[in-house]
Structure formats: C-alpha cells, structure tokens
Amino acid sequence: MTLSDKRILIAVSGGIAAYKIHFLIRQFIKSGAEVQVIMTPDAENFVTKLSFSTLSKKPVYTEFYNENGTWNSHVELALWADAIIMAPCTANTLAKMTHGICDNLVIATYMSAKCPVFVAPAMDLDMYQHPSTQQNLELVEEYGHIIIPAENGELASGLVGQGRMAEPETIFQTVENYFGKPCTKSLEGKTVLITAGPTYEAIDPVRFIGNHSSGKMGYSLAEEAAERGAKVILVSGPSALQSKHENIDLHRVTSAKEMLAKVFEFYEAIDIGIASAAVADYAPKDIAVEKIKKNEDTFSIEMVKNPDILKTMGDQKKHQFLVGFALETQNEEENAKGKLKKKNLDMIVLNSLRDEGAGFKNDTNKIKIFTKTEKKEFSLKSKDDVAKDILDCVETQLLK
C-alpha cells in the first residue's frame, strides 16, 4: 500500500469540522500510515485529545513538550512527518501560516516542516470569501502547499455556501494520489472508446452553433483508462486539450455527424464506451456555401435533430459496456435513470449544474453514478479524480 510507510501529521485547529478528523485518522490508520495529531489550544473546545489519541494510538500534543529533556518538539515533529495536513484550517491558522505568527505548537511545527503540506480550510462562507482569506490561500498555494478547497453546503452557522471542510474521504484521496496510488494495469487488454468535448454545427463557412464544453472530463477519463493499460480511442470534438499518452489514439472531429461516423468505425471492436461529449442536439438544416450577409433585422435558421450517438450505440449494443453522462437542471435523478433505460446503458454519470464547481469548463466535478440497481454519490473532486471514481465503478461492474 502507498501510505503504509508514510508518517502523517494532522494539525487540527479550532473549528467545528474538527469532529470529521476522527474519520480521517481512521482512514489513514486503515491504510497503514502512522498518524500523529497536534492541535491548537482552541481546537480542544471542539474535540478531545483522548478521542484522537485513541484512534491514532499516539499521544496528542497541544503544547511544546520536552519528553527527552529538549525544547524542540516542533522541530522533531516536523522532521518526523512525510506530510502535514492542516485540517480543519481556520482563517486564523491560515493567516498565522502566511505571516509567520508562531504562537503555538501547530504553527511552529508547520514552519519547521520541509515535507508537503496539505491545507483543508474550513470556515463560514463570508470568512472564506473575505479578501484576506482568499489572498492567504493564494499565498500558501505559492508556497507550494496543496489546497483541498472547502465545499459548498450547509454550514454550522445555518448559512449555506462555500466553507465546509472537504470530506475526510476527499482529503485522504488527495494525499493518497499525491504519493501515487499504486497503478495496477487493471484495464490491460480492453479497448475503451471515449467521446469528448463539444460539437460545432456549421451555419456557414465562418459560423457555427456550439457549446461551452471544454472536453476536460473526457480527456481525464482517457488519460486514466490509458494509465490503467487500456487501448483508448478518444473521439474529440473541438477542444484546446491535447493528449500525448502512447495508449491514446486521438481522433478529432467537428460535428455530431462526424462524431457518429468516427465512433462507428471502431464500435464493433470496443469493450467499453464512455460518451462524455456534449453533442449539439440540433444542427442547421442547410449550411450556407458563402458567408451569410447582414441584411434583415431578424434572421432564423431551420434546425434539424442530430443523431443521438450514444443511443445509436445502445441500440446496437452486443458485448459493449456503455456509460453515458447526464447534465440535468431539474428532476435530475429521475431524468438520469430515464436515460440509462432509454439509451440502453449500463451506467450513467449524473452531474448537476446546481452544484457549484460541477459541469462545464470547471476543473472539478461532483457526480452521482447510477447503474440499473445501484446509486453512488461522490464529493466535489478534480476531474482527474472523478475519472478514477468512474473507472473504478466500471471495473467493479465488469467483475460482477
């Protein structure tokens, strides 16, 4: 296991999210890591040393100690750690980190450390948005620390917004990914076809109808599948992204019709199909040969329905395992499950435009996965980590 030889120092400051650290400690201990907890004096108002030391199997420190007759416990702790996790990191602790206000064991240890530092802020939404917090977050990022952004949701104050500490699972995975999850070639021998990006539907030689899809989700899926040893066919609409992985065969297309044709060049031979492209539902009936001139005050274009690429794949499915995406704004779960059935899919990934940080253009995504019988919910993560979750689910289903 990646973390089995790692020493993880968790520095807890005084916020209500400190209760979640119990779960974080358990997860690190389960992964085989050694865990040392230190706390700011204020953190003791929220949680007890006893519960943390019971879980971590080590004494928990809030004060400088001198067990060996030395004064430098902070240096000792800092040198011991392979990683320091500041969680929850309050606005106060964050400010002390950026200004070197070294008035407690947590900050003294942090300032003595040479190892990677992970910062999981937690505070009320207005404190989180305050320019001082935002500037301090930028500063610690400049120091090379890894920020695990606060999540959106209900806060202890009763207000709703960004400020909740990331879930222990997210913090754990960020650290695990940093140290490099052992990569098993779990998709070796499989061919995976992925559609990605938007489609552009031409109006005339210079104009088109398109959408804001960046292609990030599809490219992350392609990278991850390739890392797992799969042969990947990536059929991408216009996207600024590149792919250099030797296992990825990238085919660039423009319109939905071109995407359909490209997909079906390979469809027979694939094992897994993942449709993450944001395909335009309609295309102009006729494409003007010359650039359309600006004449009338109003102008209309007759549109015709595009082929539904994924539904066509579903209709012709034999051995292929098919995954679709649903981006919904209302009756999300119902609509996603409806699509699973209508398009004859094995799995559907739902992302909601209601979740801040999810969907188009963002580097993060928040998903729920449905199969015919199961539902799984995930927290807000980077699209690279979301890709891992999706492929983990695909692999679990294939093993059934």
Q: Which residues are catalytic?
A: 211
- Using rule CB under 6 A, residue 231 touches ligand C5P: no
Tell me which stretch binds ligand C5P (CB under 6 A): 120-128, 147-155, 322-330, 391-399: 322-330
Q: Which is nearer to ligand C5P, 82 or 271 (CB)?
A: 271
380-384 long-range contacts (CB < 8 A, ≥24 apart) are 380/149, 380/151, 380/152, 380/166, 380/170, 380/355, 381/170, 381/173, 383/216, 383/217, 383/220, 384/220, 384/223, 384/224
Q: Are 302 and 285 in contact (CB under 8 A)?
A: yes
Among 190, 216, 231, 339, binds ligand C5P (CB under 6 A): 339
Between strands 375-377 and 367-370, the pairing is antiparallel
- Using rule CB under 6 A, residue 279 touches ligand C5P: yes
- Using rule CB under 6 A, residue 306 touches ligand C5P: yes
Q: How many CA atoms lie within 13 A of 65 on its CB side?
A: 11
Among 35, 122, 275, 393, binds ligand C5P (CB under 6 A): 275
Q: In b/e form, how buried is each residue of 288-316, taking b as 16+ CB within 10 angstroms?
A: eeeeeeeeeeeeebeeeebebbbbebbee
- Using rule CB under 6 A, residue 90 touches ligand C5P: no
Q: Which is nearer to ligand C5P, 60 or 280 (CB)?
A: 280
- Using rule CB under 6 A, residue 309 touches ligand C5P: yes
Among positions 31-70, residues that touch ligand C5P (CB under 6 A) are none
- Using rule CB under 6 A, residue 256 touches ligand C5P: yes
Tell me which stretch binds ligand C5P (CB under 6 A): 110-118, 146-154, 285-293, 301-309: 301-309
- Using rule CB under 6 A, residue 118 touches ligand C5P: no
Please report how close the Cβ of residue 293 comes to ligand C5P at its closest, in angstroms: 31
Distance between CA 120 and CA 104 in Å, rounded?
19
Among positions 176-195, residues that touch ligand C5P (CB under 6 A) are 195
Distance of CA 372 to CAs 217, 264, 274, 321, 398, Å?
23, 25, 16, 13, 14
Among 88, 121, 273, 324, binds ligand C5P (CB under 6 A): 324
Q: Which is nearer to ligand C5P, 92 or 335 (CB)?
A: 335
Q: Which is nearer to ligand C5P, 190 or 339 (CB)?
A: 339
- Using rule CB under 6 A, residue 326 touches ligand C5P: yes
Phi, psi of 327 (to 5 degrees): -115, 105
Q: Are 341 and 319 in contact (CB under 8 A)?
A: no
Q: Are 348 and 336 in contact (CB under 8 A)?
A: yes
Peptide bond into 88 cis (omega under 30): yes
- Using rule CB under 6 A, residue 172 touches ligand C5P: no
List contacts with ligand C5P (CB under 6 A): 195, 256, 275-277, 279, 306, 308-310, 324-326, 339
